[in-house]
């Protein structure tokens, strides 16, 4: 059975070049990067080469890159490493749970948190961030690109506000790095998160950019690894894989891969939006879309249950996802889509399509060959879809006009 994977915001396949770069570090190059003998020097050199590659992707000195076990750890290190009880932190309502739940934990420990809202397109207004500043504000943490919608925030503007107020600025760039250019000096951030498995590197490795002079307290205590900012023997194969993925991402920008990907995403989106009672999450009432990373689109299909559509498509070989999460046994609508003002049923009827470097025009055609008929079949069976109801109750759940 042919399988097409359009869920690259969940994780990306490791590119063959990345796997090749990692392979020796599972075998002959096994040394502990802290050992002073030949074996250790070999792996230390590989770790430092990878650090240079990640630094080049972010536009920073290698000394400002701290390797972690992934995006979640890097987000937690940024939040817990900087903020203390009695500090005030500003974040947004649409952050990934790696930031949101870290902030909620800080709140329980006595920190004050302001959750800045987003508009219907999923955008934080930098003026709201500015207005939320208080004398005890220590940290602003607003994500670069959203994992569900791909919407890109005005991070450079928020960075300027933070710099003027002398407040630390962290941005979770897990869904931006490798997809669009990321430059820490343009954003003026003090802290920035990257995850290996979202840019065709391996799972279980990530990095936190920490600007020189940032007072950050380590979360893990042990040896003096990563200049005492993150204790623990380095995951050498993972770090090497992340470094290679960063190099490949940069080469991709030079070739214009991002533009090709945007064109494939736009074709998918255009054709899916021609299905009746669908709409783009992240567009305003004129259909004007917020700035987005090139690989993501998030579309609602009124009258269906998103989970049912994901399962039906998976049975036919297409992998996509909903933003919905299962919480205490119930399917909750996505916190991102509801923060953007979507009704709960529409948020639950939304599907995220996210492309990766491995996807081809044939993959998009395969998806387009399946989705319209599957949506039509599910709608026929759906009590939420007007045609399956007696005329007298049709108006109750009439799908809204596409926006
Ligand atoms: N931040 C964002 C925006 C993400 O999309 C993810 C993963 O989905 C994370 C953080 C967590 O990264 P990791 O899976 O490497 O822990």
Each residue's pLDDT expressed in tens, for the chain with a length of 403 residues: 999 999 999 999 999 999 999 999 999 999 999 999 999 999 999 999 999 999 999 999 999 999 999 999 999 999 999 999 999 999 999 999 999 999 999 999 999 999 999 999 999 999 999 999 999 999 999 999 999 999 999 999 999 999 999 999 999 999 999 999 999 999 999 999 999 999 999 999 999 999 999 999 999 999 999 999 999 999 999 999 999 999 999 999 999 999 999 999 999 999 999 999 999 998 988 888 899 999 999 999 999 999 999 999 999 999 999 965 555 556 789 999 999 999 999 999 999 999 999 999 999 999 999 999 999 999 999 998 987 555 444 333 333 433 3
pLDDT at 397: 37
pLDDT at 286: 85
Residue 194 CA to ligand 1 center (angstroms) comes to 8
Which pTM does this prediction carry? 0.94
391-399 long-range contacts, Cβ below 8 Å, gap at least 24?
Answer: 397/303, 399/276, 399/277, 399/302, 399/303
**Which atom of ligand 1 lies nearest, measured to the CA of 206?**
15
Token reading at 41? 């020097």
Cα 238 to Cα 204: distance, rounded to the nearest angstrom:
7
Tell me which H or E stretch contains 190. none
pLDDT at 391: 45
pLDDT at 339: 98
Pocket test of ligand 1: the residue of 147, 155, 196 to mutate, having most ligand atoms within 8 Å of its CB, is 147
Pocket test of ligand 1: the residue of 98, 182, 207 to mutate, having most ligand atoms within 8 Å of its CB, is 98
pLDDT at 324: 54
* Residues facing 289 on adjacent strands: 283
Residue 223 CA to ligand 1 center (angstroms) comes to 26
Q: What are phi and psi of 141, to 5 degrees?
A: -130, 105
Q: State if residue 278 touches ligand 1 by the CB under 6 angstroms criterion.
A: no
Looking only at the bridges linking them, the beta strands covering 88-92 and 4-5 are: unpaired
Residue 372 CA to ligand 1 center (angstroms) comes to 30
Among residues 292, 402, 338, 348, the alpha carbon closest in space to that of 118 is found at 338
Q: State if residue 295 touches ligand 1 by the CB under 6 angstroms criterion.
A: no
pLDDT at 329: 55
Q: State if residue 201 touches ligand 1 by the CB under 6 angstroms criterion.
A: no
Cα 276 to Cα 320: distance, rounded to the nearest angstrom:
20
Pocket test of ligand 1: the residue of 70, 71, 202 to mutate, having most ligand atoms within 8 Å of its CB, is 71
- Token pair 């948190």 is found at 113
pLDDT at 332: 87
**Which atom of ligand 1 lies nearest, measured to the CA of 143?**
3
Residue 389 CA to ligand 1 center (angstroms) comes to 41
Q: State if residue 190 touches ligand 1 by the CB under 6 angstroms criterion.
A: no
**C-alpha to C-alpha distances, 348 to 101, 280, 377, nearest whole angstrom:** 22, 14, 18
Token reading at 323? 């933003």
Q: State if residue 72 touches ligand 1 by the CB under 6 angstroms criterion.
A: yes
Cα 123 to Cα 54: distance, rounded to the nearest angstrom:
28
Residue 175 CA to ligand 1 center (angstroms) comes to 8
pLDDT at 400: 40
pLDDT at 285: 82
Q: State if residue 174 touches ligand 1 by the CB under 6 angstroms criterion.
A: yes
Cα 127 to Cα 119: distance, rounded to the nearest angstrom:
13
Q: State if residue 71 touches ligand 1 by the CB under 6 angstroms criterion.
A: yes
| Coil vs helix vs strand at 244 | helix
Query: Is 326 known to be catalytic?
Result: yes
Residue 98 CA to ligand 1 center (angstroms) comes to 7
**Which atom of ligand 1 lies nearest, measured to the CA of 75?**
10
Cα 49 to Cα 127: distance, rounded to the nearest angstrom:
40
């Amino acid at each position: 059975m042919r399988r097409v994977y359009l869920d690259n915001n969940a994780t990306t396949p490791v590119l063959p070049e990345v796997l090749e770069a990692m392979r020796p570090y599972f075998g002959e190059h096994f040394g502990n990067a802290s050992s002073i003998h030949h074996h250790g020097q070999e792996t230390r050199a590989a770790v430092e080469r990878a650090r240079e590659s990640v630094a080049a992707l972010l536009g920073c000195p290698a000394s400002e890159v701290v390797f972690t076990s992934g995006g979640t750890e890097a987000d937690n290190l940024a939040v817990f490493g900087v903020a203390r009880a009695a500090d005030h932190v500003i974040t947004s309502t649409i952050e990934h749970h790696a930031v949101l739940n870290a902030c909620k934990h800080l709140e329980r420990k006595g920190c004050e948190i302001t959750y800045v809202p987003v508009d219907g397109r999923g955008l934080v207004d930098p003026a709201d961030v500015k207005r939320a500043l208080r004398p005890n504000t220590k940290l602003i943490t607003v994500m670069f690109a959203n994992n569900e919608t791909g919407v890109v925030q005005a991070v450079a503007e928020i960075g300027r506000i933070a710099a003027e107020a002398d407040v630390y600025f962290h941005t979770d760039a897990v869904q931006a790095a490798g997809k669009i250019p990321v430059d820490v000096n343009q954003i003026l951030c003090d802290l920035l998160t990257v995850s290996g498995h979202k840019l065709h590197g391996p799972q279980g490795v990530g990095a936190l950019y920490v600007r020189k002079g940032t007072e950050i307290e380590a979360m893990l205590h042990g040896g003096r690894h990563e200049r005492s900012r993150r204790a623990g023997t380095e995951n050498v194969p993972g770090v090497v894989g992340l470094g290679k993925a960063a190099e490949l991402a940069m080469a991709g920008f030079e070739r214009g891969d991002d533009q090709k990907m945007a064109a494939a995403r736009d074709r998918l989106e255009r054709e899916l939006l021609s299905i009746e009672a669908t709409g783009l999450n992240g567009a305003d009432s004129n259909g004007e879309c917020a700035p987005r990373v090139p690989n993501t689109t998030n579309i609602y299909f009124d009258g269906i249950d998103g989970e049912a559509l994901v399962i039906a498509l998976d049975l036919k070989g297409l992998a996509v996802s909903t933003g919905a999460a299962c919480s205490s046994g119930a399917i909750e609508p996505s916190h991102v889509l509801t923060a953007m003002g979507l009704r709960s049923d529409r948020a639950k009827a939304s599907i995220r399509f996210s492309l990766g470097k491995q996807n081809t025009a044939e993959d998009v055609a395969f998806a387009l060959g399946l989705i319209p008929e599957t949506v039509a079949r599910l709608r026929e069976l759906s009590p939420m879809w007007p045609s399956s109801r007696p005329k007298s109750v049709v108006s109750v759940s009439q799908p809204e006009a596409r926006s």
